[in-house]
Protein backbone atom coordinates (compact mmCIF):
# COMPACT_ATOMS: atom_id res chain seq x y z
CA UNK A 1 0.00 0.00 0.00
CA UNK A 2 1.56 3.31 -1.03
CA UNK A 3 1.55 6.49 1.01
CA UNK A 4 -1.37 8.09 -0.87
CA UNK A 5 -3.57 5.03 -0.30
CA UNK A 6 -2.66 5.00 3.40
CA UNK A 7 -3.51 8.69 3.72
CA UNK A 8 -6.84 8.14 1.99
CA UNK A 9 -7.63 5.16 4.26
CA UNK A 10 -6.80 7.17 7.38
CA UNK A 11 -9.03 10.06 6.28
CA UNK A 12 -11.86 7.65 5.40
CA UNK A 13 -11.59 5.91 8.76
CA UNK A 14 -11.45 9.25 10.56
CA UNK A 15 -14.69 10.27 8.82
CA UNK A 16 -16.28 6.97 9.86
CA UNK A 17 -15.15 7.37 13.48
CA UNK A 18 -16.45 10.94 13.75
CA UNK A 19 -19.85 10.27 12.17
CA UNK A 20 -20.74 6.81 13.47
CA UNK A 21 -23.02 6.03 16.41
CA UNK A 22 -21.23 2.89 17.58
CA UNK A 23 -18.02 0.98 16.81
CA UNK A 24 -17.47 -2.69 17.74
CA UNK A 25 -13.97 -4.17 17.76
CA UNK A 26 -13.54 -7.93 17.33
CA UNK A 27 -10.85 -10.49 16.57
CA UNK A 28 -11.52 -12.42 13.38
CA UNK A 29 -8.59 -14.87 13.28
CA UNK A 30 -9.66 -18.14 11.68
CA UNK A 31 -12.68 -16.80 9.79
CA UNK A 32 -12.87 -17.99 6.21
CA UNK A 33 -13.48 -15.67 3.31
CA UNK A 34 -17.02 -17.06 3.01
CA UNK A 35 -17.64 -16.30 6.71
CA UNK A 36 -16.40 -12.73 6.26
CA UNK A 37 -18.63 -12.27 3.22
CA UNK A 38 -21.58 -13.58 5.22
CA UNK A 39 -20.78 -11.17 8.07
CA UNK A 40 -20.47 -8.26 5.66
CA UNK A 41 -23.81 -9.06 4.01
CA UNK A 42 -25.57 -9.39 7.38
CA UNK A 43 -24.11 -6.06 8.47
CA UNK A 44 -25.18 -4.43 5.22
CA UNK A 45 -28.75 -5.71 5.63
CA UNK A 46 -28.86 -4.22 9.13
CA UNK A 47 -27.49 -0.86 7.94
CA UNK A 48 -24.02 -1.39 9.39
CA UNK A 49 -20.56 -1.88 7.89
CA UNK A 50 -17.43 -3.93 8.55
CA UNK A 51 -13.91 -2.70 7.92
CA UNK A 52 -10.60 -4.52 8.30
CA UNK A 53 -7.72 -2.07 8.50
CA UNK A 54 -4.17 -2.09 9.75
CA UNK A 55 -4.21 -1.35 13.46
CA UNK A 56 -1.52 1.32 13.15
CA UNK A 57 -3.55 3.22 10.54
CA UNK A 58 -6.75 2.82 12.54
CA UNK A 59 -5.03 4.25 15.64
CA UNK A 60 -3.90 7.26 13.62
CA UNK A 61 -7.47 7.75 12.36
CA UNK A 62 -8.83 7.51 15.92
CA UNK A 63 -6.90 10.56 17.13
CA UNK A 64 -9.22 13.42 18.00
CA UNK A 65 -12.46 11.42 17.72
CA UNK A 66 -15.01 10.50 20.39
CA UNK A 67 -14.34 6.78 19.96
CA UNK A 68 -10.59 7.08 20.63
CA UNK A 69 -11.10 4.84 23.69
CA UNK A 70 -11.00 1.74 21.43
CA UNK A 71 -7.31 2.25 20.56
CA UNK A 72 -6.02 -0.25 23.22
CA UNK A 73 -8.27 -2.95 21.70
CA UNK A 74 -6.53 -2.73 18.33
CA UNK A 75 -4.03 -5.56 18.72
CA UNK A 76 -3.83 -8.58 16.48
CA UNK A 77 -6.23 -9.34 13.60
CA UNK A 78 -9.10 -6.97 14.38
CA UNK A 79 -12.12 -5.84 12.45
CA UNK A 80 -14.25 -2.78 13.03
CA UNK A 81 -18.03 -3.00 12.78
CA UNK A 82 -19.84 0.33 12.85
CA UNK A 83 -23.25 1.86 12.27
CA UNK A 84 -25.08 5.11 12.83
CA UNK A 85 -27.85 3.17 14.62
CA UNK A 86 -26.39 2.34 18.06
CA UNK A 87 -27.96 -1.12 18.04
CA UNK A 88 -27.39 -2.45 14.50
CA UNK A 89 -23.66 -3.24 14.51
CA UNK A 90 -23.56 -4.77 18.03
CA UNK A 91 -26.65 -6.88 17.34
CA UNK A 92 -25.29 -8.39 14.12
CA UNK A 93 -21.79 -8.86 15.59
CA UNK A 94 -23.11 -10.65 18.70
CA UNK A 95 -25.47 -12.87 16.67
CA UNK A 96 -22.65 -13.77 14.28
CA UNK A 97 -20.27 -14.48 17.18
CA UNK A 98 -22.86 -16.85 18.71
CA UNK A 99 -22.98 -18.86 15.49
CA UNK A 100 -19.25 -18.65 14.76
CA UNK A 101 -16.85 -18.86 17.70
CA UNK A 102 -13.91 -17.59 15.59
CA UNK A 103 -15.28 -14.06 15.91
CA UNK A 104 -14.40 -12.78 19.39
CA UNK A 105 -15.89 -9.44 20.44
CA UNK A 106 -13.34 -7.36 22.34
CA UNK A 107 -15.36 -4.22 23.06
CA UNK A 108 -16.19 -0.96 21.38
CA UNK A 109 -17.40 2.56 21.86
CA UNK A 110 -20.68 4.41 21.62
CA UNK A 111 -19.83 8.07 21.27
CA UNK A 112 -17.40 8.93 24.06
CA UNK A 113 -18.52 5.91 26.13
CA UNK A 114 -16.13 2.96 26.07
CA UNK A 115 -17.77 -0.47 25.97
CA UNK A 116 -16.34 -3.80 27.09
CA UNK A 117 -17.47 -7.11 25.55
CA UNK A 118 -20.34 -7.51 28.04
CA UNK A 119 -21.55 -3.96 27.35
CA UNK A 120 -21.62 -4.70 23.62
CA UNK A 121 -23.68 -7.84 24.31
CA UNK A 122 -26.06 -5.86 26.54
CA UNK A 123 -26.42 -3.22 23.82
CA UNK A 124 -27.18 -5.96 21.29
CA UNK A 125 -30.03 -7.26 23.45
CA UNK A 126 -31.88 -3.93 23.23
CA UNK A 127 -34.56 -3.53 20.54
CA UNK A 128 -33.47 -1.76 17.37
CA UNK A 129 -34.57 1.74 16.44
CA UNK A 130 -37.16 0.38 13.98
CA UNK A 131 -38.58 -1.99 16.63
CA UNK A 132 -38.87 0.90 19.10
CA UNK A 133 -40.65 3.01 16.49
CA UNK A 134 -43.09 0.17 15.81
CA UNK A 135 -43.82 -0.20 19.54
CA UNK A 136 -44.36 3.54 19.86
CA UNK A 137 -46.77 3.59 16.91
CA UNK A 138 -48.61 0.63 18.45
CA UNK A 139 -48.91 2.42 21.78
CA UNK A 140 -50.20 5.58 20.09
CA UNK A 141 -52.75 3.64 18.03
CA UNK A 142 -54.03 1.49 20.90
CA UNK A 143 -56.00 4.25 22.71
CA UNK A 144 -57.64 5.35 19.45
CA UNK A 145 -58.72 1.77 18.75
CA UNK A 146 -60.14 1.40 22.25
CA UNK A 147 -62.04 4.69 21.96
CA UNK A 148 -63.57 3.52 18.67
CA UNK A 149 -64.58 0.21 20.31
CA UNK A 150 -66.14 2.04 23.25
CA UNK A 151 -68.03 4.40 20.95
CA UNK A 152 -69.44 1.48 18.95
CA UNK A 153 -70.22 -0.71 21.98
CA UNK A 154 -73.38 1.13 23.20
CA UNK A 155 -74.89 1.10 19.70
CA UNK A 156 -74.21 -2.63 19.43
CA UNK A 157 -75.77 -3.29 22.83
CA UNK A 158 -78.82 -1.23 21.89
CA UNK A 159 -79.21 -3.21 18.65
CA UNK A 160 -79.02 -6.51 20.55
CA UNK A 161 -81.71 -5.32 23.01
CA UNK A 162 -84.04 -4.29 20.15
CA UNK A 163 -83.34 -7.63 18.44
CA UNK A 164 -84.24 -9.51 21.63
CA UNK A 165 -87.52 -7.58 21.99
CA UNK A 166 -88.32 -8.25 18.33
CA UNK A 167 -87.76 -12.00 18.78
CA UNK A 168 -89.84 -12.03 21.96
CA UNK A 169 -92.74 -10.26 20.30
CA UNK A 170 -92.56 -12.53 17.25
CA UNK A 171 -92.69 -15.67 19.39
Note the pTM of the prediction, 2 decimals: 0.71
Q: What is the pLDDT of residues 96-109, one digit of tens each?
A: 999 988 899 999 99
- Determine phi and psi for 106, rounding to 5 degrees: -95, -35
Could you tell me which residue, 99 or 158, shows the higher pLDDT?
Answer: 99
Task: Give the model's pLDDT for residue 79.
Answer: 92
How distant is the alpha carbon of residue 61 from its chain centre? 23
Q: What is the pLDDT of residues 75-93, one digit of tens each?
A: 989 999 999 888 888 999 9
Q: Looking at the predicted structure, is the pLDDT value of residue 64 above 90?
A: no
Q: Where are the beta strands (DSSP E) in the chain?
A: 22-27, 48-51, 78-83, 104-110, 113-116
Q: What is the mean pLDDT of the chain?
A: 85
Q: Looking at the predicted structure, is the pLDDT value of residue 57 above 70?
A: yes
Amino acid sequence: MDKAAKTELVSTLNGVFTSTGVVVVAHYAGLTVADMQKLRSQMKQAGASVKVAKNRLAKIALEGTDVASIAPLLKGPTLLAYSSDPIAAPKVAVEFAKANDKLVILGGAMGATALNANSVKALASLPSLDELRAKLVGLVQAPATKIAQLANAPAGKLARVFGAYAKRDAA
